[in-house]
Amino acid sequence: MQNDVVSREEWLEARRALLAKEKEATRLRDSVNAARLALPWVKVDKDYVFETSEGRKSLADLFDGRSQLLIYHFMLGPDWDAGCTGCSFLSDHVDGALPHLNHHDVTWVAVSRAPLDKIAAYKRRMGWKFPWVSSFGSDFNFDYHVSFSPEDLAKDKVFYNFTPMQPADANDELPGLSAFYRNDKGEVFHTYSSYARGPEELIGTLMILDRAPKGRNEDSTMNFVRRHDEYEEAAKAPSCCH
């Protein structure tokens, strides 16, 4: 399917109309960002312990000396063979941002319920460098509504993305992003969480595809995505010289 083909003047008129909408979206994004920064905080009083490559650490320890912490709730359950494809897609974009985040007083950590050895094996397979710890044996994932026990999924509703939802639409693990702040006293505060498609803007590939002629060219949300070592070699376009 091909879009209408028009004169340059007609294209310019349509492009200017789209530009007005793009500017409106930018202003709305700025407004949403300001509202996000203005959210009230909740003090974290519960003691969470995580298994890391450097031993057991508390939530406060994960800040690694910085005042801000972003935790990506990576879908990799205790009995999973591999990490979630969508979470892997997002995580492919993280390593390059780490120096910029760290030098802006922000620490990024992925958290999963899988045991640490399973996390380490998948991390090696994907070639990632970002910190990734295990919350196995902790209530952390359940308290932040990204993991669900068989008992949870047997109920009439489960709570995800700040909304009750049908268990049939849920899973034992779901994705999300949570933000925390640590003050000079060592107190930790939960400042923000986002679920489902909320963290989508972190996926630079999607933002690039949105500007390509065919866009995301998907039948359902990210149905085209594979783990980066699972893509088949794409057929090359014919050369004009052959």
CATH assignment at residue 172: 3.40.30.10
Does 37 fall in a domain?
Answer: no
Over residues 115-170, the pLDDT tens digits come to 999 999 999 999 999 999 999 999 999 999 999 999 999 999 999 999 999 988 88
Residue 10: inside a domain, yes or no? no
Looking at residue 233, its pLDDT comes to 73
Does 128 reside within a domain? yes
Cα–Cα distance list, 235 to 202, 231, 232 (Å): 29, 12, 9
In a domain, residue 231? The reply is: no
pLDDT computed for residue 235 by the predictor: 45
The structural domain count of the chain equals 1
Region of poorest pLDDT, from 24-38, 56-70, 84-98, 216-230: 216-230
> Average pLDDT for residues 202-214, to the nearest whole number?
96
In the predicted model, what is the mean pLDDT of the chain?
94
Answer yes or no: is 15 within a domain: no
- 190: containing domain: 48-202
Residue with tokens 């068989």: 150
Q: Where are the alpha helices (DSSP H) in the chain?
A: 8-37, 85-91, 98-102, 116-126, 140-143, 150-153, 204-209
- Give CA–CA dist 45/35, Å, rounded: 25
pLDDT at 239 over 70: no
For residue 2, what pLDDT is reported? 87
Q: What's the average model confidence in pLDDT over 89-100?
A: 98
Q: What pLDDT does 139 receive?
A: 96
By DSSP bridging, strand 188-195 and strand 158-160 are unpaired
Q: What is the pLDDT of residue 1?
A: 72
Q: Residue range 9-19: average pLDDT?
A: 97
Is the pTM value of this prediction over 0.85? yes
Q: Could you tell me which of 13, 107, 15, 119 has the C-alpha nearest to residue 61? A: 107
What percent of the chain has a predicted confidence (pLDDT) above 90?
93
Q: Mean pLDDT across the stretch 46-55?
A: 96
Q: What is the dihedral of CA 130, 183, 29, 88, to 10 degrees?
A: 20
pLDDT tier, 240 (very low <50, low <70, confident <90, very high otherwise):
very low
Calculate mean pLDDT across residues 176-199: 97
- The closest of 53, 34, 68 to 191, measured between CA atoms, is 68
Tokens of 123: 């991390």
pLDDT of 35 > 80? The answer is: yes
Taking alpha carbons only, the member of 94, 52, 102, 55 closest to residue 72 is: 94
pLDDT at 237 over 60: no
pLDDT at 232: 87
Q: Domain for residue 66, yes or no?
A: yes
Residue 127 maps to a domain: yes
Identify whether 16 is part of a domain: no
The pLDDT tens digits of the residues spanning 99-114 come to: 999 999 999 999 999 9
